[in-house]
A and B are shown apart, each in its own frame.
Chain A
């Protein structure tokens, strides 16, 4: 990577009280790349994402985003460039706000004027009929809600999307639609993704490179091709891969 990375994390450490949840983590993500972070619960993968998104202020180390070293409290320009999509579309949308409210809010915060046109465009981009604009979350299916969450992230036209298990609450057929949508958006807009997931097949499908985490440490960084070739170097990554292939009798 000769060009400057879009995201560069150096010796990131996060502690909550006595528990040290992210330990000396370093990685780089190139502009336009899709980077996966996999691991089991408690491995610290979501915490890394929350630090990058500015949602967690207790950390040390260095996080450079788009060449700029990030302070604990981010400025408004940061949020125009970096947006996050959360795991559970049932929890991340306000139940008493319509789709229109959800999409208008980030625009109002950033003082963007052509809200009307932008909301319409964001909805079309994620494949939601504009007739859904004044619906409430309970009037939408899980897949449609996740599309609203993606539209809300895209409405500010960010360059980096942080995706925290964006499809794990969805049925497989809906997962396929959402993953296709994310792929298409990335190619159209040259977006940079960090995708956190526990599903190795999803990460291999979406990302060029990935990092395996365990107990807060980066265990192994590899390419998706290495994963598909079943050729991770470390025992833990190998174990995770075997476990994800289903049950083996007499194993």
Chain B
């Protein structure tokens, strides 16, 4: 792996005019309608409500859109390699090894009949030539890196024996053991309690800082994204409403972003009635 301070000649990921369509009997559902961004070694947030296309964006990058969905783009490039023309085998090798994804809920994403340690070790051996013993040692070190105390004990536990926060850390460990350049985290903390949430974010944050990883952080939580990310893309109905620095989120200009911020109850500014959002059909035009 490169040292994080190596000068960067090219962005990690370039995406131009990404579209995700589903052909259904009742017509075409356009889940993502023309998304473009460039990802560097940074924390990029994608926020939006349900149905905004934020999760579909993450899946499209990994080529995980199920049939009958189709992914179209003018350009989709990972460190100089064109993802659109790449054959499926090469693309699959990239997935998990260089671009990886942490899903929302550990309850549904871990294999229930395999110990969590074996699952992490398997992730390592898929991508690296290693003996089972070496994979085990790596996995234990990784569990320690995501701040699990007694890694040897946790290694032998099954998913139902670990708490939600621990399960989420196990998934992060599994995704990071291959040392990817890009991590896509789809609502990685929304199933967790606030205090555990902060611990998980701290781990992700350290990884971006120490390994120079690029992080795409998909979330519906504006406050969290504001405090955690560097840049934020606000999506609605599959389109980008605006892209802005996370620190400037409060000064957002777009009526949708303003509306989202306005309808949150706020400890400091109590209001008798919460503002509701008026959706303008012109936003999707």
B277 near A176 with CB under 8 A, answer: yes
> Are B267 and A200 in contact, with the CB atoms below 8 A?
yes
Encoded as 1 (CB less than 8 Å from any A CB) or 0, chain B from 201 to 223 comes to 11001000000000000001011
Q: Once bound together, how far apart are the Cα atoms of A206 and B273, in whole Å?
A: 10
B68 to chain A, nearest CB (A): 20
- Among B9-17, B34-42, B190-198, the stretch that binds chain A is B190-198
Whether, in the assembled complex, B268 has its beta carbon less than 8 Å from a beta carbon of chain A, the answer is yes
Q: Is the CB of B273 within 8 A of A183?
A: yes
Q: List 14 A-B contacts (CB under 8 A).
A: A40-B195, A171-B220, A172-B260, A179-B265, A183-B273, A199-B265, A201-B265, A204-B270, A205-B270, A206-B265, A230-B267, A239-B195, A246-B224, A247-B202
Cβ–Cβ contact B220 & A179, under 8 A: no
Q: Secondary structure at chain A's binding surface: helix, strand, loop or mixed? A: helix
Considering only CB atoms, which chain A residue lies closest to B223 in the complex? A246
User: Which of A198, A240, A246 has the largest count of B CB atoms less than 10 A from its CB?
Assistant: A246
Contact B205 A247 (CB under 8 A): yes
In this complex, the interface size class of chain B, counting residues with CB under 8 Å from chain A, is 20 to 34
Interface membership of A248, Cβ < 8 A: yes
Let me know if B132 is at the binding interface, CB within 8 A: no
- Tell me the A residues contacting B by CB distance below 8 Å: 40-41, 142, 171-173, 175-177, 179-180, 183, 198-202, 204-206, 224, 227-228, 230, 239-240, 243-249
- A101 CB to nearest chain B CB (Å): 26
> Min CB distance, B174 to chain A, in Å?
23
Tally the A-B contacts, defined by beta carbons under 8 Å.
Answer: 84
Whole-angstrom CA separation of A243 from B227 in the bound complex: 12
Q: How far is the CA of A224 from the CA of B222 in the complex (A)?
A: 23
Q: How far is the CB of B247 from chain A (nearest CB, A)?
A: 12
The answer to whether the Cβ of B156 comes within 8 Å of any Cβ in the partner chain is no
Residue among B49, B194, B273, B276 making CB contact with A240, cutoff 8 Å = B194
Q: Which residues does chain A contribute within 8 Å of B226, judged by CB atoms? A: 246
Tell me if B274 is interfacial: C-beta within 8 Å of chain A: yes
Chain B proximity of A141: nearest CB distance (Å): 9
Q: Are A173 and B260 in contact (CB under 8 A)?
A: yes
Most chain A beta-carbon contacts within 10 A, residue among B194, B195, B264: B194
**Closest A residue, CB atoms, query B165:** A41
* Alpha-carbon gap, A201 to B267, bound state (A): 5
Tell me which residues from 155 to 175 in chain B have a Cβ below 8 Å from any Cβ of chain A: 164
1/0 per position for B42-66, CB-CB distance to A under 8 A?
A: 0000000110000000000000000
Question: Which chain B residues lie closer than 8 Å to A173 at the CB level?
Answer: 49, 259-260, 263, 276-277
- CB-nearest residue of chain A to B191: A41
Bitwise, B258-285 to A at CB < 8 A (1) or not (0) is 0110011111101111111100000000
With both beta carbons as reference points, the residue of chain A lying nearest to B279 in the complex is identified as A173
In whole angstroms, what is the CA distance A243 to B272 when docked?
25
